[in-house]
Amino acid sequence: MDGTVLPAIDVDHLQVSYGSQQVLHGVSLSIASGEFVAILGSSGCGKTTLLRTIAGFQKASGGSIRLSGRDVVNVPPEKRGMAMMFQSYALWPHMTVLGNVGYGLRLRGVPREEIRARVASVLKMLNLSGLENRKVTALSGGQRQRVALGRALAIEPQILLLDEPLSNLDAKVRIQLRSEIKSLQNQLGFTALHVTHDREEAMTMADRIVVMEAGRIAQVGTPKEVYDQPASPFVASFMGAENTISLDVTPAGSGVQIRADDGSMASCIDSVPIGAVTAYFRDDVASLEDPAARIDGSIILPGRITQRTYPGGYYRYVVAIGDRHFSVTDDRYHELDRPVGLRLPVASLHLFPTEQTKGGLHA
């Protein structure tokens, strides 16, 4: 042995088709032992299909799946050494909490007393002690999801797969369970692969994020990398940079000059594409200034405030610039219909050659 540590999950050029429709187009992904990875993407991007194929519930049409070096592409789900939490909880309504959490152990022939002991230990971890004999139909949504998590953890899996398990819960319980699942993963050391469409959920739970688009991986990186350095217009938009503006970039001395359609310009020494570009930016990087202001490293676009809301802690404005509308957050109160300058710090813009963008511009 050369001492090489094998990935807990190694997906290599995985292809999946539903009939004649190809859903996954050669997906490759390696996940280290003990790592928490979130698969993020919009509906229909293939994220749940990828998870179900790794679990063994969906058959691959090409490529390989290795778990700690063992090829499992043709191995049934129950022999893959992993557990799965479903969006629907998938609990047995006629069973008690004890029956549900111990179900997987009973299938594996574990003696009754050992099942009771292990279930008691799991329920203590999940703050469900004392509920062993209660029917799951008498529990709250958050308690049911903890029971589903307990059932998954009771078999002591090396890998836990999570298919949007928190999407049916209210916001407060969802945030609490995020923290609990991540804490248990750190404590127990299992590898976790979590499918979600919730950006904040992925950002707060995962060591790495996989962004999927149309059956392919668009980007893999830490939450900070994917958020601050999106690899494509799609990733930038999906990670919240939904405002766009057309700019023109020309060489100037040791850097570049960036010009907007209305003549506003700024200089930059960073490496950016030359020519026609589309800038993507989030609400929180823009700010409101005097329309006549000139600030180094920023483009200031003259506009007018058309809407103002107060979601709490700050104001959210809509600024009209020509026939375009941009959303921006600002701590200060501004009157409606007031002329303002929309300040865009160049360093906070995600610039892509305009020919890369699809479906036109949107704000």
Give pLDDT tens digits for 82-112: 998 887 778 888 889 988 899 888 888 888 8
- pTM of the model as a whole: 0.86
* Rounded Cα–Cα distance for residues 289 and 321 (Å): 14
Residue 316 confidence (pLDDT): 94
Residue 254 confidence (pLDDT): 74
Residue 92 confidence (pLDDT): 87
If you classify domain 241-356 with CATH, what class do you get?
A: mainly beta
Hey, where are the domains in the chain? 9-235, 241-356
pLDDT of 362 > 80? The answer is no
Token pair 């499918």 is found at 195
Residue 241 confidence (pLDDT): 94
* Rounded Cα–Cα distance for residues 13 and 15 (Å): 6
Fold classification of 9-235 (topology level): Rossmann fold (3.40.50)
* Rounded Cα–Cα distance for residues 293 and 299 (Å): 10
Confidence of residue 357 (pLDDT cuts 50, 70, 90): low
Confidence of residue 3 (pLDDT cuts 50, 70, 90): low
Residue 200 confidence (pLDDT): 93
Contacts 24+ apart (CB under 8 A), 320-325: 321/262, 322/262, 324/245, 324/363, 325/363
Confidence of residue 6 (pLDDT cuts 50, 70, 90): very high
* Rounded Cα–Cα distance for residues 196 and 204 (Å): 12
Other Cβ atoms closer than 10 A to 219? 21
pLDDT of 2 > 80? The answer is no
Residues 184-232 have pLDDT tens digits of 899 889 999 999 999 999 999 999 999 999 999 999 999 999 999 999 9
